Amino acid sequence: MLVIEDLHASVNGAEILRGLDLEVRAGEVHAVMGPNGSGKSTLANVLAGRESYEVTRGRVLFEGRDLLPMSPEARACEGIFLAFQYPVEIPGVSTAYFLKAGLNAIRKHRGLEELDAIDFLAMAKEKLKIVEMEQSLMTRALNEGFSGGEKKRNEIFQMVVLDPRLAILDETDSGLDIDALKIVADGVNALRSPDRAMIVITHYQRLLNYIVPDHVHVLLNGRIVRSGGKGLALDLEERGYDWVKADAGAPA
């Protein structure tokens, strides 16, 4: 589904990704771990098409098509979803209005009929249950005045509604207490399916107790230095990133 080859990317002229390779097949959940500054969020933003991240080398194929020339909205329409590390507030725009606009843009792209407000609300209400959120969330201005946990759950709610092919979760666990973490993980697990893939970006192993990955990758200085099964995450938890750093011969 997703093939990343020799990806180099910079932000404000500083090279962050330095030759990253990764292949993700449908049905798989990949965890990308790494210390702060290793390039985890850069990877997420580059895949979603954020324009302040400049790709300087390499290529990314999504479903066999060149992803990099596509606009962020085109990628979303193709089925790429990013759960943001820091969800953005939009005053005066309700979550329902926002999400309906997004969903209908995507449906239109897929040749489906747009949903009217009534059908949308009926569908959204069902999905709200998955993330155990109050219906009042839908009428509140998007993320405005939401607690950290509510914002993250709102991201998962949007993911459930938009039904992506590839979901990228950028440190969705950061700032969550254990209850919220479980709810988020349940939402993600409910979405696991043979034709969907997920990339779960996290700093800590904790989330992976609830979302069990098929593959774990360690990102260091902009490259994947080690890949393995779910056991790798446990090794990391025990031995810390320094172990991989030493192993990879990278400066600490």
Partner 1 sequence: MPTNSNTIEALANREYKYGFVTDIEAETAPRGLNEDIVRLISAKKNEPRFMLEWRLKAYRQWVKLERSEAEPTWSNIHYPPIDYQDIIYYAAPKQPTEGPKSLDEVDPKLLETFAKLGISLEEQKRLSGVAVDAVFDSVSVATTFKKKLSELGIIFCSFSEAVQNHPELIEKYLGSVVPYTDNFFATLNSAVFTDGSFCYIPKGVRCPMELSTYFRINTADTGQFERTLIVAEAGSYVSYLEGCTAPRRDTNQLHAAVVELIALDDAEIKYSTVQNWYPGDKEGKGGIYNFVTKRGKCLGRNSKISWTQVETGSAITWKYPSCILLGDNSIGEFYSVALTNNYQQADTGTKMIHIGKNTRSTIISKGISAGHGQNTYRGLVKILKSATGARNYSQCDSLLLGDKCGAHTFPYLEVTNRAAQVEHEASTSKIGEDQLFYCRQRGISAEDAVSMIVNGFCKQVFRELPMEFAVEAQKLLGVSLEGSVG
Which residue is associated with the tokens 């500054």? Answer: 37
Which residue's CB is nearer to partner 1, number 19 or number 72? 72
Q: Nearest approach, Cβ of 130 to partner 1 (angstroms)?
A: 18
The binding site for partner 1 (CB under 8 A) comprises: 48-52, 54-55, 71-73, 75-77, 81-82, 84, 86-88, 90-93, 97-99, 101-103, 105-106, 109, 141, 158, 162
Q: Nearest approach, Cβ of 63 to partner 1 (angstroms)?
A: 17
Which residue's CB is nearer to partner 1, number 27 or number 72? 72
Calculate helix-pair angle for 117-130, 95-109, nearest 10 degrees: 110
Which residue's CB is nearer to partner 1, number 159 or number 225? 159
Map the chain to HEC letters: CEEEEEEEEEECCEEEEEEEEEEECCCCEEEEECCCCCCHHHHHHHHHCCCCEEEEEEEEEECCEECCCCCHHHHHHHCEEEECCCCCCEEEEEHHHHHHHHHHHHHHHCCCCCCCHHHHHHHHHHHHHHCCCCHHHHCCEECCCCCHHHHHHHHHHHHHHHCCCEEEEECCCCCCCHHHHHHHHHHHHHCCCCCCEEEEEECCCHHHHCCCCCEEEEEECCEEEEEECHHHHHHHHHHCHHHHHHHHCCCC
Which residue's CB is nearer to partner 1, number 97 or number 204? 97
Q: Nearest approach, Cβ of 141 to partner 1 (angstroms)?
A: 7
Assign residue 221 a region: left if phi > 0, alpha if psi is -120 to 50, beta otherwise? left
Which residue's CB is nearer to partner 1, number 48 or number 244? 48
Q: Nearest approach, Cβ of 160 to partner 1 (angstroms)?
A: 13
Which residue's CB is nearer to partner 1, number 81 or number 241? 81
Which residue's CB is nearer to partner 1, number 103 or number 233? 103
Identity at 8, one-letter amino acid code? H
Nearest 5°: phi and psi at 113? -70, 145
Q: Nearest approach, Cβ of 92 to partner 1 (angstroms)?
A: 3
What's the token pair of residue 28? 């798989």
